[in-house]
Amino acid sequence: MRNRIVSMLPTLVLLAAGDAGAGPVSGAVSSSAPVGNDASVESIDITLYQGMGWVRELRRHRVPAGAADVTIAELPRIEAGTPQVRAADGMGALRVLGLDYQTGRMPPGDRLGSAIARIETEAGDRALEVSYLSTELMWNASYVATLPANGASARLVGSAHILNRSGRTFENATIRCVSGIASGSSGRDYDRSEMQPFAPLARLGGLPQSEKQALLELQSFDLTTATVRDEHTKAVDFMTAPAVPVRIEHSIAFHSSCGGWSASDNSVGQLLLVFRNDRASGLGHHLAGGMFSVLVEQADGERALLGRGSTGDVPEGELVRIHIGNTRDVVGTRTLIAYDGDRRTKEHERTYQVVLKNRKHDAVIATLRDLGSERIVRSDHAFTVSSGPEALCEILIPANGSVEVVYTARYRCGD
């Protein structure tokens, strides 16, 4: 589906209200002087994706009777083939006979262009919806999690960073941010002709649930009305969760393979921020992927950076584990103490002794990981995940103490 969407992006889309079957007419743009240059922009609606932006503008033009060329001025840098013009006032028939957009018409040093639409209608003021795609207008998410010292919950604030390099400043725009779509895809649903390109989910509330599921799996949220200036990045908070239950986890990983292994190896702990994206945590909606900064707030109000990492999109109910740095206060040593191999079945078992050390003055939760084993067959500590490419065992290590783990992992080597 996505490959098909990308390949169809250059196709010019022209629709008119009341005449959905009308298509572009080759050579329909006349050489007469354009009209409607005094048009006013009444509203701007922007749907931002992580890699592109879809803009809808409501413009009012004075159009003479019959067919005329209407200039749509002050257009930013847009993707060829994406401009669309249609009636937005319900005041009688309007036909879009052709549309011409050329960046070559831009004056020297001016990044704003214009389009000429060939429109057939009755005389009078007409409200037109002009929409287009720009890959110079996009957003990304960032989060700040603030943990009180010795606390088990964090204040999580999410911000939308809007980047505008389109050449146009958008005044008092209604802004909707969408996540869950790969950069480079258009978001159109070509199998559903009644749907407009980039229709925000909030506008599809009247559809049956089965039809909603047929659309691409997008998640959206609205921001406050704002002005987005050209060549600026605007940050707007879009979510706050005051008390998200979190834990700081120390992950110690050892890599195993058939061809490469040693009798003894060491590992430095990785620092992870762990929480669940559910309603009990004050979240419970699709969490857009982005950068995470984790701060620790002391009793005197001073804050220090604990670490920084990132995550992809996280569905509701899923566990979020973000690598925010490394620590040398929690370390592990793994020693091979037994080996058993079967050439006939090509199955090999290795028994390891792991010593996890905590040099901190507080107890920590450590996750022991065996990367590459097929299955943990025996262990003196329970593994929460005992099969697959990543075996997991959660262990509480006392302050200034150590814990010993002995386990046997099975590997299948050879064809």
pLDDT digits (tens, 9 = 90+) for 133-159: 888 899 999 999 999 877 789 999 999
Provide the domain count of the chain.
2
329, 199: one domain: no
Separation CA 390–CA 386 (nearest Å) = 8
Q: What integer pLDDT is reported at residue 126 of this predicted model?
A: 82
Position 291 in a domain:
no
Q: In this structure, are 188 and 253 located in the same domain? A: no
CB atoms within 10 A of CB 69: 21
Cβ-based neighbour number of residue 215 at 10 Å: 17
Question: How many angstroms separate the CA atoms of 179 and 327, rounded?
Answer: 32
Bridge partners (DSSP) of residue 29 are: none
For residue 222, name the pLDDT band (cuts at 50, 70, 90).
confident
Kindly list the distances between the CA atom of residue 51 and the CA atoms of 81, 141, 183, 223, in Å, as whole numbers in the listed order: 18, 12, 5, 18
Same domain membership, residue 255 and residue 108? no
Strand, helix or coil at 2? helix
CATH of the domain at 342: 2.60.40
Helix (H, G, I), strand (E, B) or coil at 195: coil
* Whether residue 78 is found in the same domain as residue 173: yes
Q: Is residue 156 part of a domain?
A: no
In a domain, 283, yes or no: no
Query: Could you tell me if 215 and 205 are in contact, meaning their C-beta atoms sit under 8 angstroms apart?
Result: no
For every residue of 89-112, DSSP letters joined together read S--S-EEEEEEEE-GGGSPTT---
Give the residue numbers spanning the domain of 329. Answer: 246-275+319-412
Domain identity same for 252 and 210:
no
List, in order, residues 6 or more apart from 371 with CB less than 8 Å away. Answer: 253, 254, 255, 256, 389, 390
Contact 153, 243 (CB under 8 A): yes
pLDDT in tens, 334-388: 999 998 877 776 778 889 999 999 999 989 989 998 887 778 889 999 988 887 7
pLDDT of residue 218: 62
189 and 271 part of one domain: no
CA-nearest of 186, 134, 140, 183 to 160 is: 140
Q: What is the distance in angstroms between the CA of the first residue and the CA of the last residue of the chain?
A: 36
Same domain (yes/no): 256, 399: yes
Residues 112 and 174 reside in one and the same domain:
yes
pTM, two decimal places: 0.70
The Cβ-side half-sphere exposure at 376, using a 13 Å CA radius, reads: 23
In a shared domain, residues 258 and 398: yes
pLDDT per position as a tens digit, 244-267: 999 888 999 988 766 656 778 899
Average pLDDT over residues 46-68: 85
Say if 31 falls within a structural domain. yes
Confidence (pLDDT) at 295? 95
Q: Are 257 and 347 members of one domain?
A: yes
Beta bridge partners of 397: 364
**Residue 87: inside a domain:** yes
Is position 297 within any domain?
no
**Tens of pLDDT, residues 170-203:** 999 999 888 865 433 333 332 322 223 333 333 3
Is there a domain that residue 338 lies in?
yes
User: In which region does residue 271 sit, left (phi positive, over 0), alpha (psi from -120 to 50) or beta (all else)?
Assistant: beta
The Cα–Cα gap between 150 and 141 comes to: 28
Report the half-sphere exposure of 410 (CA within 13 A, side-chain side): 14
302: left (phi over 0), alpha (psi -120 to 50) or beta: beta
Q: Are residues 206 and 60 in the same domain?
A: yes
> Distance (Å, rounded) from C-alpha 235 to C-alpha 158?
10
Residue 341 lies in a domain: yes
Residues 253 and 219 in one domain: no
How far apart CA 84 and CA 391 sit, in angstroms, is 53
Distance of CA 78 to the CA centre of its chain: 21
